[in-house]
Structure 1
Amino acid sequence: MVPNKLKWYRNKKLDQWICFWTVPFFYTLFGIIFVPLSWMMPPRSPNNELAQIVEFMQSQNLLIATTLLILSIGLAAVANACYAIQMRRMSVSPAFRIAFIMGSVAGCIVGCLFPMFCFGLGAFRPDYDPKILAMLYDFGYLSFIGSLGCFCIMWSMLGLAIILDKNRILPKWLGYYTVWQYMTELFAATVWIAKTGPFAWDGVMAFWFNMVLYVPWQIIIYYQIFLAIKNQPDSELGNADIASSGPATGATA
């Protein structure tokens, strides 16, 4: 008999739970990097004076933030795997899951790594010409906020999979919420046109409206993923059986 203190180790969902509980850690660290550490978010104005831009771009905190991000960004893949494994259980084409994964890769590179590299690069060499720093400043914010469309394919695949799924792995209302959430990200395209007002990168429509929907959605969907893992029967896990001790039978030299 396996001692009680060891039974958790033989839980077939242990791998999923390990992946799942890295998610709140990652998003907490993500928030610390982009808000109190770098003060990149909430977004600074595209109309800041050159002196304000230079002061921000030469902050040593940007180097610390960039270092932490490149050390932890791989956890985003673990977070997205939690979605993908539940999408695998849905009665939809594998194309949805593959498109979801590919969309997450594109979004992570363009919408996360690029901007942080731009801001970190500005702090790496304090002797950069102020106009170069201003260009990196624009590049960073336009990449971070202006590329939210990269995530549209990712979230649309998830939302449509939930709506079309006949196995009801996740509640159908969550699919509609997901579709509505990613539709608001299309407003981000306006940041390439508007430098002031609600459609600028710090504007009500291009940034804040999306955040009001995105933040609670992110919390809600991970709670639903938690319930999906909890209720998933062992027969659907697809884990390899634990090999019995001793040499395999029928092995040849």
Structure 2
Amino acid sequence: MTKAVADVTGPGQAPRRRWRDNKKLDQWIAFWTVPVFFSLFGLAFVPLSWMMPPRSPGASQAEITDFMQSQNLLVACVILTLAFGMAPVSNACYLNQIRRMSVSPVLRYSLMAGATTGAIVGMVFAMFCFGLGAFRTGYDPEILAMLYDFGYLAFIGSLGCFCIMWMAFGLAIILDKNNILPKWLGYYTVWQYVTELMAAPVWIAKSGPFAWNGLMTFWFAMLLYVPWQFIVYVCIYRAIKNQPEEELDNFHLVNAARTEANA
């Protein structure tokens, strides 16, 4: 009888583990969905539909109609529909690391609630508004203008939920005594998301630096957000890599099963 799977090792070497025996495999799968999600998200919002960078609140009715009736918006919505499910998976990477910290679960729940709210207003609303405008030709220009405003105000003007979400993340890092993530990342996160409060004036300003496409409201926020996002992912990668296997739930489940089998 042949052996289905054999781990070939030399004398004195530890047995080689198969890749699926890695007890962090589930975490790594979740982690690597993050760049996939943001790549699809960026593809849909930028080169495909040019929803971003945001168009002007003062665009003419003809410009709004031409944009809102673009068939590329429908293709972008298809991509976002397929990619949307990856958003909670990526947030699970943060939640799992916060669970390891010596802080109250309230911060983890705050991040979870903020992530849920943020995904709805910051992605689903915009997707439906822009996609609905392109779905059927013949909509009145006034309706297209309303959907145009709704989509951009939902996407950019609802950043308050993200502030609470990431403030909880930053405070968890700062208050943590287990040093799961570096303290400077906590201060950086809190400072970075305080700047998101500058999105509040988009509900008032229709031109200038505080409009939804303005220098302070959008471009300055992106200048801070993009490098912060890359830094966070590097730190999360290191946290997963350095996490002892003894902390993993599946480690204890496997050991308990082995103990029961040997009893």
Structure 1 residue 237, shift from structure 2 partner: 1.1
Query: Amino acid of the residue matched to residue 182 of structure 2?
Result: P
Output aligned runs, 1:220-231, within 5 Å: 220-231=231-242
Change (3 A) 1:71 1:91: same
Q: How does 1:178-197 map to 2 (within 5 A)?
A: 178-197=189-208
> What are the within-5 Å matches in structure 2 for residues 117-132 of structure 1?
117-132=128-143
Tell me, yes or no, if structure 1 residue 25 matches structure 2 residue 36: yes
TM-score normalized by structure 2?
0.91
Select the residue among 205, 227, 248 that pairs with 1:237. Answer: 248
Give the secondary structure class of the aligned counterpart of 2:18.
Answer: helix
Question: AA paired with 2:143?
Answer: I
Shift of 1:38: 1.0
The separation in 1 between residues aligned to 2:255 and 2:101, in whole angstroms, is 26
Looking at structure 2, the residues matched to 3 and 226 of structure 1 have their Cα atoms a distance apart, in angstroms, of: 28
**1:181 CA displacement:** 1.2
Structure 2, unaligned runs of 5 or more: 9-15
Which secondary structure does the structure 2 equivalent of 1:206 belong to? helix
Deviations 1:196-250 (A, max 9, x none): 00000000111111100100000000000000000000011122317869x9799
Q: Is 1:58 equivalent to 2:69 in the alignment?
A: yes
Does residue 1:81 correspond to 2:85, yes or no?
A: no
Report the equivalent of 2:7. 3
Matched, 1:167 2:171: no
Match of 1:116 among 127, 131, 155: 127
CA distance in structure 2 between the partners assigned to 1:244 and 1:181 by the alignment: 45
In the alignment, residue 176 of structure 1 is paired with which amino acid? Y
Please report the TM-score for the alignment, with normalisation by the length of structure 1.
Answer: 0.94
Q: 1:70: how far off?
A: 1.2
Q: Letter of the 1:127 partner, please give it.
A: G
| Cα deviations by residue, 1:101-143 (Å, 9 ceiling, x for unpaired) | 0110000001111011100000001100011000100000000
Based on CA coordinates, which of the two structures has the bigger radius of gyration?
2
Task: Give the Cα–Cα distance (whole angstroms) in 2 for the partners of residues 11 and 242 of structure 1.
Answer: 14
Distance in structure 2 (CA, Å) of the matches to 1:17 and 1:215: 22
Question: 1-side partners of 2:17 and 2:70: how far apart?
Answer: 49
The letter for the 2-side match of 1:44 is R
Question: Cα RMSD (Å) of the superposition?
Answer: 1.8
State the distance in 2 between where 1:213 and 1:54 align: 32
How far apart are residue 7 of structure 1 and its match?
Answer: 1.6
Q: Secondary structure at the match of 1:241?
A: helix
Q: Which residue number corresponds to residue 229 of structure 2? A: 218
When the two structures are aligned, how many residues end up with a matched partner? 249
Identity, % of aligned positions: 67
Please identify runs of 4+ aligned residues in structure 1 that moved more than 4 A. 242-245, 247-250
Distance 1:38 1:82 in 2: 29
User: Deviation at 1:150?
Assistant: 1.4
**Deviation sequence 1:151-203 (CA, Å, 0-9, x none):** 11110100000011011100000001100111111111110000000000000
User: In structure 1, how many angstroms separate the alpha carbons of the residues matched to 2:98 and 2:257?
Assistant: 31
Structure 1 residue runs of 5 or longer lacking an equivalent are none
Q: Report the residue type matching 2:216 in the other structure.
A: M
Aligned-partner residue type, residue 197 of structure 1? G
- One-letter amino acid matched to 1:241: V
